[in-house]
Structure 1
């Protein structure tokens, strides 16, 4: 994957964020998209070899659209400033997300503001066995890579059906159960970039598997 060309394309796109420019440069975009999909396919194969529970996700299935959803976010620019994809993308599961972009490059996973049913299942899982989840979050190696749960909106009080005195009330108040590891742009160009992705994937795996177990029962 020619990441130098990818960043160059994104920089030009953000300076000319309109359909006319994209139409003129669509061959450039399609060439980079095809490269990115091929790169994702290789990563998908590698992760499947490492994780027996991995859900095969070809690059074409995992890659996100470069268009922003203007129906729900009308004030956003037409096109995104990054290439992103979700891997290990089983239905109703916490996938593994890869983003390479201008504002940020990151590796992430979990559930971002899940629907009420999924959120309820996660909270019930924490109610049943929050000690295991907290132990995952408290691992020094986990904290080093992710810090903690993604900082998003939280409830002021306990969710319905739970007490404010619950031993895991701080976790239960969360609306998002995800983590992210921010990368530097230089990391993307390093020969060991793929190895870094693998190490982050493996460290995140118990976290994602715990969440997936709560929503699969």
Structure 2
């Protein structure tokens, strides 16, 4: 993966986020997209060594489209300024599809690599099931959060999306109340690729995925609807 070329392309796209520029630069996009797909193919192969459940994930379906869904957005920019993929056991990458926990990563126009694991904004029924599992398996949930590799790499679950009060139906919960307020059960870490490209990008991403596996495995114990 030519990371410098990808970051350069995405930076230019951010400054010229329109169809005319995109079409004119389509050959560049096609080459970078193919390289990104090759990276995802390798990631699935490497992840499969420690998590066989994702070994059959279709790499083409793991990639997200670069087109933005602008139907309900005030920002009408037609294209995302990052390349991204989500690797799941179910093969469904979107939370709205009920795909379950995933290994996710993206590289953006600022040269930031984000590596994540877990479930981001799951649909209401799924979120309710996760919260119920937190209570039912309070000890297991607490043990998972204390996993050494998970904690060293990610710290704690992300609190970007969090309620101010306990959700309806969980008002009297006494175990892990702060986690019951979360709308996402996910960890992520960010590193800059602009100044220092890793010797092996795939290896760095896989290492992050491996460290998020305790959370992914815990979430997998919750049956998908």
In the superposition, the TM-score normalised over structure 2's length comes to 0.88
| Corresponding residue for residue 30 of structure 1 | 30
- 2:54 touches 2:88 (CA, 8 Å); kept in 1? yes
The counterpart of 2:100, out of the listed 90, 93, 110, is 93
Superposition pairs of residues 49-64 of structure 1, within 5 angstroms = 49-64=49-64
1:134-161: CA deviation from partner (whole Å, max 9, x where unpaired): 2221234322211211122322332222
| Corresponding residue for residue 127 of structure 1 | 135
CA 1:215–1:160 in structure 2 vs 1: closer, same or farther (change >3 Å)? farther
| Corresponding residue for residue 193 of structure 1 | 201
Aligned residues: 217
Q: How far did 1:18 drift?
A: 0.6
Instruction: Name the SS of the counterpart of 2:48 in structure 1.
Output: helix
- 1:3 touches 1:188 (CA, 8 Å); kept in 2? no
CA 1:153–1:42 in structure 2 vs 1: closer, same or farther (change >3 Å)? closer
In the superposition, the TM-score normalised over structure 1's length comes to 0.91
- 2:150 touches 2:211 (CA, 8 Å); kept in 1? yes
| Corresponding residue for residue 157 of structure 2 | 149
Question: Which deviates the most, 179-188 or 99-108?
Answer: 179-188
RMSD: 2.0
**Greater per-residue helix proportion:** 1
Moved over 3 A (4+): none
